[in-house]
């Protein structure tokens, strides 16, 4: 049976920026079923719309992007800049992992450009650990059943490929995304509101260009035009074999 892959990030568009190409390949080449989740709906992502309005808009943009992967989309109901490692958020994240029933989970790295990203990394790490445990109730009103085992866990590259002190963070391995770059770009372009907002907040009007620059930098490590880097979580009891490399025949 084909593997199920859950991308669980902090904000809408994090997936599209970091591992969208790999997800496309996992779907196309390995027949994986993809599920997309984010902690927030991106309520701070606008200088024009109120939090509830932009959340509604970005939730819809994320659904559109996920549809390109034939993926269901879940948002965990956290709020931008306020993602907390606390019991309610952890329960909601675990409920999402249970609904996705993944063999592979991809999340943000433990050290990244904003604390929201780092917190999601820890939340997802624990959610994967807790998802198979029957006594860990998510308090969901219609809870999914526990999954069968702890999934493989991977971290994408941090933003700008560096830690908060500017030190480069080398990946364990790089996935060649050259052939799927156009599709990745198309997914990213679904986030129309975010593109505009990043332009206004960060002075970075080149949403797509930044993604390509990062991809090109990672591509260099494997002598290919574009790549996406990953590190695997190897703590106990997460599976230790590199299933993504196996599925994509990376050697």
Among 14-22, 154-162, 187-195, 222-230, which window interacts with a copy of itself (CB under 8 A)?
Answer: 154-162
Minimum distance, C-beta of residue 97 to a copy of itself, in the bound complex (Å): 12
Q: Does residue 1 belong to the site contacting a copy of itself (CB under 8 A)?
A: no
Site for a copy of itself in 90-129 (CB under 8 A): 90, 110, 112-116, 122, 125-126, 129
Position 45 contacts a copy of itself (CB under 8 A) = yes
Give yes or no for residue 196 binding a copy of itself (CB under 8 A). no
**Interface pick for a copy of itself out of 199, 213, 220, 234 (rule CB under 8 A):** 234
Sole binder of a copy of itself in the list 87, 241, 249, 251 (CB under 8 A): 87
CB of 29 to a copy of itself, least distance (A): 27
What are the tokens at 98? Answer: 């249970």
Q: Which stretch binds a copy of itself (CB under 8 A): 13-21, 137-145, 181-189, 241-249?
A: 137-145
Report if residue 16 touches a copy of itself, rule: CB under 8 A. Answer: no
- Cα 122 versus chain centre, distance: 13
Q: Judged by CB, which is closer to a copy of itself: 31, or 88?
A: 88
HSE, side-chain direction, 13 A CA sphere, residue 158: 21
Show the tokens assigned to 123.
Answer: 């939340």
Question: At closest approach, how far in Å is the CB of 191 from a copy of itself?
Answer: 15
Nearest Cα residue to 194 out of 180, 208, 214, 213: 208
Tell me the C-alpha to C-alpha distance, in Å, between residue 76 and each of 40, 59, 72, 175, 196: 6, 11, 13, 28, 24
Count CB atoms within 10 A of the CB of residue 170: 11
Tell me the C-alpha distance between 56 and 69, whole Å: 21
Give the position of tokens 């156009």: 182
163 forms part of the interface with a copy of itself (CB under 8 A) = yes
Contact 69/190 with Cβ under 8 angstroms?
no
CB atoms within 10 A of CB 73: 21
Q: 116, 11 in Cβ contact below 8 A?
A: yes
Name the one residue in this structure whose structure tokens are 């190409």.
21
Q: Residue 201, interface with a copy of itself (CB under 8 A)? A: yes
Given the structure tokens 């219609």, which residue do they identify?
142
Q: Is 43 in the site for a copy of itself (CB under 8 A)?
A: yes
For the bound state, the minimum distance from the C-beta of residue 139 to a copy of itself, rounded and expressed in Å, comes to 6
DSSP code of residue 75: E
Binding stretches for a copy of itself (CB under 8 A): 40-41, 43-47, 49-52, 54-56, 59-60, 75-77, 79-82, 84-88, 90, 110, 112-116, 122, 125-126, 129-130, 132-143, 159-160, 162-166, 201-202, 204, 231-237, 240
């Amino acid at each position: 049976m084909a593997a199920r892959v859950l991308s669980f990030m902090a904000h809408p568009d994090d997936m599209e920026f970091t591992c969208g190409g790999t997800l496309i390949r996992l779907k196309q080449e390995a027949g994986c079923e993809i599920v997309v989740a984010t902690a927030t709906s991106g309520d701070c992502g606008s200088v024009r719309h109120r939090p509830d309005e932009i959340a509604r808009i970005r939730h819809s943009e994320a659904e559109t992007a996920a549809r390109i992967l034939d993926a269901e989309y879940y948002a965990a109901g956290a709020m931008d800049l306020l993602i907390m490692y606390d019991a309610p958020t952890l329960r909601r994240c675990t409920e999402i992992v249970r609904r996705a029933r993944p063999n592979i989970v991809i999340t943000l790295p433990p050290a990244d450009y904003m604390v929201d990203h780092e917190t999601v990394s820890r939340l997802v790490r624990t959610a994967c650990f807790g998802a198979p445990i029957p006594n860990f109730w998510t308090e969901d009103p219609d809870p999914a059943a526990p999954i069968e085992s702890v999934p493989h866990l991977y971290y994408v590259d941090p933003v700008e490929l560096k830690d908060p002190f500017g030190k480069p963070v080398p990946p364990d391995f790089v996935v060649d995304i050259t052939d799927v770059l156009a599709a990745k770009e198309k997914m990213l372009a679904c986030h129309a509101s975010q593109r505009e907002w990043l332009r206004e907040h960060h002075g970075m009007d080149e949403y797509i260009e930044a993604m390509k620059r990062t991809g090109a930098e990672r591509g260099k490590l494997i002598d290919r035009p574009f790549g996406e880097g990953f590190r695997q979580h190897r703590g106990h009891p997460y599976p230790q074999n590199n299933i993504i490399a196996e599925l994509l025949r990376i050697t």
